[in-house]
Structure 1
Amino acid sequence: MTATRRPFGRGPAVSLFTLGTMRALASQAQMDAVVRAALEAGINHLETAPAYGPAETFLGAALARLERQGRRPDGGWVVTSKILPGVSFSEGRSQLQASLKRLGLHHLPNLAVHGINRQEHLLWAQDGEGQQLLQWARDSGLVGQVGFSSHGSHALIAEAIASGLFEFCNLHLHLLDPSRMELAHDALARGMGVLAISPADKGGRLWDPSPTLCEDCAPIPPLTLAYRYLLAAGISTLTVGATQPQDLDLAHRLAKASGALSPAERSALTRLEQRRRQRLGQEHCGQCRSCLPCPNQVPIPELLRLRNLRLGHDLQAFTQERYNLIGRAGHWWEQLDASACQGCGDCLPRCPHDLPIPDLLAETHRLLAAPPRRRLWG
């Protein structure tokens, strides 16, 4: 089908939705099925990484099979893969060449630095062997453009965007966590492509919403509203981590849904915000980040965001899962949970809404602390 495409940095235009390959790893047959479904849904952009186990190998075989059948999107596939920061020039060069071999490609349209999550990751890309590696990848013709993904702080992401080193970025942009939208709009204004990471799953397990959230978004399903919110804001492309072809049905239906929000969608967004605020009352955290920095390094806004979602929309499973991942995912997620608050009160005079932050953090821990769940990979 002919689907809407948007500019993505200086590279080829991409479909409104991107197939993320991290969840189709059970077998080659599973990857084949979801890639075929992506093609039928009008998707031309595929996102993968060596860190996703056999994803590149499975994807390369799936693309080769479709190529033999003469099946490809108009203009061909646009593939994004990644490389972890910190590797030496020689090691990185070998890793990139190995990725191309696994994918069956001579040229990779997009190469992302996989996780600029700490300052040293950005410094690696700005100078020394990292800068040498990224420049060689471009100059050699093996890579079309370079970008980055990040699970890092707002300040770090803003610095990476402003550095001028990158043509695109992959960010956590979600209906229920719009705090990074300002960063996305800055990147778009600079001509960068912006990919929204996991707006369905990391955005609140919206494929399995609570009855409360469904009522708050009615008559629009929460996942549909989340996708439309991001697309109407001009985000270049949204990832869908499909495990089966049916997971791409909504992306198929919304393949051309790039227009402005409808009155019904605007009304649903307003109601969603109003109901969350009503339930939380004067204890609603507006995510202004004025409480930072915490002398004990407690990530106050992120923790109170989870509290907002737990009490505001009854997202128990999602918030517990995210909370109990804290300290277990290295630099990919927060390191300290609410129990690290020492009650020093340093944040209290900085909060413009006079929130009793230490008390709210203690409540957050009581609400969400539970036996941790295993990560999807690793």
Structure 2
Amino acid sequence: MQYRRFGKTELRLSVFSLGTMRYLASPDNVWQTIQTAIALGINHIETARGYGKSEEYLGQAIALGLPISRSQLYITTKIPPTVDADTMRRCIDESLKRLHLDYLDCLGIHGLNTWEHLDWVKAKGGCMQAVQEAVADGRVRHVGFSTHGSLDVILAAINTDFFEFVNLHYYYFFQRHAPAIELAATKDMGIFIISPADKGGRLYTPPPTLVNLCHPFSPLELNYRFLLSDPRITTLSVGPATPEELTHLSGVADCDGQLTSEEITVFQSLENYKNLVLGTEQCSQCYECLPCPENINIPEVLRLRNLAVAYDMTDYGQYRYGMFENAGHWFPGMKANRCTECGECLPRCPQNLDIPALLKDTHQRLKGKSGRRLWE
């Protein structure tokens, strides 16, 4: 296991962090999963107030005693932004009590996703007052934020200079947030990548087309290597449901150097194949088509179409597409069948795509059962 400096926090975190959204089958499963993670060299565990009983189960494991000293194990919990300081004070106290901890190594403002959330953070007497009090009295060591928001919100949050780290989505198959990585790095913030195996493409169950294109590597391995070859990124979240799901890390946890020529060749082959298959129907993700009068997140809808058509990543596409209209500010936007063919997007598209037709095609390909965030 390799370790990296988590930006200005000066913590040295393992390049993989144990996420705790999916390990809640039982307290025993939690205990075994944590034990396995620590044995692999993982020294950072991330939970959240909103992850069901995650804080409670982690606290029980801590109370039982872990095979590593508290000073060597870094624990992060996340709390949503609140309108007022009193609510945040109560939330911090409750999280510490559930976790059986005197202090948190890191506290993340969980889901700083909208301009309204950012206003709450910036407001005098708002939630950050309580967070700063907790830092002053030693109950919180470092403060950051997690986000599922738009790039402009993320950049604005980074530019507040309130935070020492950021948790965000960024993967080989989703590079929209590259400017946020760059800005965070210039401010010496720790950078934590959210769920690269799942949100990054459901790469633990890749379709045969993608498997063949990535040979001799696995799609998941390549995504990990894409991320870990970037020295600005500190750590990647891995969220196992069972201890056994951690075993695949042993082959990549020590491979954090530059991409090899063979890996670069495979990435180029993936790009060439996508260009060939999609041809003139490929969305370049320029985001010039927004805003949409019907609040359709056109670029994200068409990104999912790109992946489904080029790489047969239909399962992943259906999983993410099903969250539209069902996950609130965590995954905003309406489904593609809301398109009225008003045509406002058409003159904005530099590729002259027939966006209404592509939206209709995407809906037919990816419509299925609606989804919600896992911990809801």
TM-score, normalised on structure 1?
0.95
Q: Is 1:106 matched with 2:102?
A: yes
Q: In 2, distance between residues paired with 1:338 and 1:375? A: 20
One-letter code aligned to 1:37: T
Map of 1:138 onto structure 2: 135
Map of 2:215 onto structure 1: 218
One-letter code aligned to 2:120: W
Map of 1:116 onto structure 2: 112
Contact map agreement 1:319 1:368 (CA 8 A) in 2: yes
CA shift for structure 1 position 299:
0.8
Unpaired segments of 5 or more residues in structure 2?
none
Unpaired segments of 5 or more residues in structure 1?
none
Q: Secondary structure, in 3 states, of the residue corresponding to 2:225?
A: helix
CA shift for structure 1 position 74:
9.2
CA shift for structure 1 position 204:
1.0
CA shift for structure 1 position 362:
1.1
Matches within 5 A, 1:76-87: 76-87=72-83
Q: Secondary structure, in 3 states, of the residue corresponding to 1:280?
A: helix
Map of 2:261 onto structure 1: 263
The CA deviation string for residues 14-50 of structure 1, in whole angstroms up to 9 with x for no partner, is 1100000111111111111110111111111111011
CA shift for structure 1 position 252:
2.8
Q: How many residues align?
A: 374
Map of 2:162 onto structure 1: 165
Map of 1:190 onto structure 2: 187
Cα distance change on mapping 1:250 and 1:5 into 2, 3 Å = farther
Cα RMSD (Å) of the superposition? 1.5
One-letter code aligned to 1:84: P
Q: In 1, distance between residues paired with 2:90 and 2:338? A: 42
CA shift for structure 1 position 267:
0.9
Q: Secondary structure, in 3 states, of the residue corresponding to 2:75?
A: strand
CA shift for structure 1 position 146:
1.0
The CA deviation string for residues 225-262 of structure 1, in whole angstroms up to 9 with x for no partner, is 00010111221100000111121122233222221011
Q: In 2, distance between residues paired with 1:15 and 1:170? A: 15
Map of 1:47 onto structure 2: 46
CA shift for structure 1 position 97:
1.2
Map of 1:4 onto structure 2: 3
Cα distance change on mapping 1:37 and 1:170 into 2, 3 Å = same
Contact map agreement 1:125 1:134 (CA 8 A) in 2: no
**Between the two proteins, what is the percent identity of the paired residues?**
42
Q: In 1, distance between residues paired with 2:368 and 2:241? A: 27
Q: Is 1:291 matched with 2:315?
A: no
Q: In 1, distance between residues paired with 2:330 and 2:19? A: 18
Q: Secondary structure, in 3 states, of the residue corresponding to 2:294?
A: coil
One-letter code aligned to 1:138: V
Q: Is 1:156 matched with 2:161?
A: no
TM-score, normalised on structure 2?
0.96
Matches within 5 A, 1:83-102: 83-102=79-98
Q: Secondary structure, in 3 states, of the residue corresponding to 2:6?
A: strand
The CA deviation string for residues 248-279 of structure 1, in whole angstroms up to 9 with x for no partner, is 12223322222101111111111111111211
Q: In 1, distance between residues paired with 2:60 and 2:217? A: 38
